[in-house]
Structure formats: C-alpha cells, structure tokens
Amino acid sequence: MEVINDTDACPQLDSGTVVTIGAYDGVHVGHRTVINEVKKMADAAGRPTALVTFDRHPASVVRPESAPLLLTDLDQKLELLGETGVDYVMVVSFDEDRAAESARDFVTSILVDCLQASCVVVGSDFHFGYKRRGNVETLTKMGVEHGFEVDGLKLVAVDGSPAQNGDRVSSTLVRSLLDGGHLARANQFLGRYHEVRGVVARGDARGRELGFPTANVSVSESIQLPADGIYAGWYERPDGSKHPAALSLGRRPTIYENQPYRLLEAHLLDFDDDLYDEQARVSFVEWLRGEIKFASLDELVTQIGLDCVSARDILGV
C-alpha cells in the first residue's frame, strides 16, 4: 500500500482508479465491506484501488466541542487499511481551509486531478465539502462532468447484509457500545479486538506492593476507551511479542477515594521485566467484571488473583 500525503506526490496512473472516501475511523466491518466492493470493481476493470481519508476527524475541526473520541489514531488506521489490500491511501490534511473547501473543489483537486478516479464508491449516507453540502447525488452530477461513475452502497449490518431496523455498522455505534460496557458487541462490529496504544508511565507502584505489578499505559485523551472494569486482554511490546494480561481500567476506588482520572493498568501474566517508557498496544478481549470498591486490600488482592485465573481461562494460557 502506498500512502500519499500531498497532492504534489500523486501517483502516475494510466488507467484511473476506483476510489472510496471517508474518515474510516476504526476500519470496522462496514468499512471493510465497502473496501471489498471497491476491490471487486477495480479487479473487474483492471484498475488500482485508492482510498481517501483524513489526518484528523473532520468533526474535530468543524465542531470540536462535540467531536467524537477516536477508535484508532492515524498510524493504527493506516496499519488496518494496509491489511485490506488497497493499493493507495491518500491522507488529506483536514484543517480550517479544508473545512471551508467546496464540494466541487474537493472533487477536482483530489478525485480528478490527483487520483484520476474512474469510479467512486461511497456509503449512501456520504456527505462532503463545506458544511457537508455535498452528497451522493452531488457527487453523481460531478461524475458526469468529469467522467467518473458513482456507486452509493447501502449501509450494512455486521454480517455484511443490508442494514435493517437500526442495526447498521458505524463508528458511532461502536463508540457507544464501548462506552456502555458492551465490549463483545463492539468487537463483533470492529471485526477484531478493540486496541489502544500508549506509553508505559511510572505510577505509584501499588500493584507491585499488592503482588501484581502493572504497566500503566498512558492513552491519548482523544482515544475511545471501553467502560471502567476488569478485562482479559493482550499486551503487545514494541518487538511484536504478545503477552496475556489482566487489565484494569478505572479510578481504583479501593485505594483512592476520589482519583480524578482513569487509569489503564495491564498485569502481564507470567512476566516480570521493566516495561517503563515503551510503546504498548493493549487489546481488550473480554469483560470480566465491573470496578468494585472492596472493604480491604486483602479482599482486593484475593479478587485480583481470581481475575488472573479468569483471564488465563479466556486467553487459553
């Protein structure tokens, strides 16, 4: 997959491309359905595939006060898109100038001049351009002018079938499921385990004092975390090694009366090494229980031991 970060670096194309456009936050099963359709059309036409996305979620610029938390940062999104087999990904810098750009100018500069689109595939609810004034109908009219076709796909359910009765796959729904504690359903819509990334920071060492040392993973405030609770999951180190872990996400009510921030702690099973300052990838596999304030530290330690046993069973270690 070739990543294009600037219109000055547009690829040299003889046959045009089959293109799709979107934020693609999370690269969930709905996104993959669209990409698969793009690949089928491109293969039939003997053309390469291209995907246009943004370096920031457009809502973070046009309505920052209500912008959604992200399911993936840009690096993770590009990694997931690379797994789909798309040929080109164009990352459009989204700022105030881009937000003010008309739908027509976007089509001309990105789809026509840069990617030489022969067909554009989008969801039926697609909107673009200044104040989201462009839609599938607008895009279709511009396609007639510039010589590309437009395919507005119907929205899909988790199994790839046409969505009915509000069961359509969307990044908004996945965020809501994670926030509401419905991890299994969120993972089903993502088509993978929800993963967050961050640097291991030095904490207060309370986990080690209790006999269960943890890596405190500092996750960006822009990233969507699951609901507070205890989880079975995987911890991936920079060298690619994956370690089974019991995960704690929350405010540690047994230890602190009013901890003002949420903390993600990963206790790696059968592991004892220095993890400080390394980049970690943490995957949430299954919810074990909610966060509880115990009457004593002894009760907390006993429950942590049981949580580790449960995590082992779920992870198969």
pLDDT digits (tens, 9 = 90+) for 51-98: 999 998 888 888 888 899 999 999 999 999 999 999 999 999 988 988
d(CA 156, CA 36): 13
Output the CA torsion sign for 25, 26, 27, 28.
Answer: negative
d(CA 15, CA 238): 40
Q: What CATH number does the domain located at 193-315 have?
A: 2.40.30.30
CB contact at 8 A, 264 and 198: yes
Question: Where are the chain's structural domains?
Answer: 2-173, 193-315
Contacts of 85 (CB under 8 A, 6+ apart): 1, 39, 49
Distances in Å between the Cα of 89 and the Cα atoms of 3, 5, 73 are 5, 9, 15
pLDDT category at 309 given cuts 50, 70, 90 is very high
Instruction: Please give the DSSP secondary-structure letter assigned to residue 70.
Output: B
pTM above 0.85, yes or no: yes
Q: What is the pLDDT of residue 164?
A: 58
3-state secondary structure of 282: strand
Class of residue 149 by CB neighbours under 10 A (exposed 0-12, middle 13-18, buried 19+): middle
The closest alpha carbon to 89, from 3, 202, 154, belongs to: 3
Q: What is the pLDDT of residue 71?
A: 97
Mean pLDDT of 253-280: 89
Query: Residues 233-263: pLDDT tens digits?
Result: 999 999 999 999 999 999 887 887 888 889 9
DSSP letters, 166-224, are: T----HHHHHHHHHTT-HHHHHHHHTS-EEEEEEEEP---HHHHTT---EEEEE-TTBP
Known catalytic residue: 265? yes
> Catalytic one among 65, 221, 265, 286?
265
Class of residue 194 by CB neighbours under 10 A (exposed 0-12, middle 13-18, buried 19+): buried
- Rounded to the nearest integer, the mean pLDDT of the chain is 91
Domain 2-173 has CATH 3.40.50.620: yes
CB contact at 8 A, 114 and 4: yes
d(CA 276, CA 236): 14
Which residue's entry shows tokens 């693609």?
24
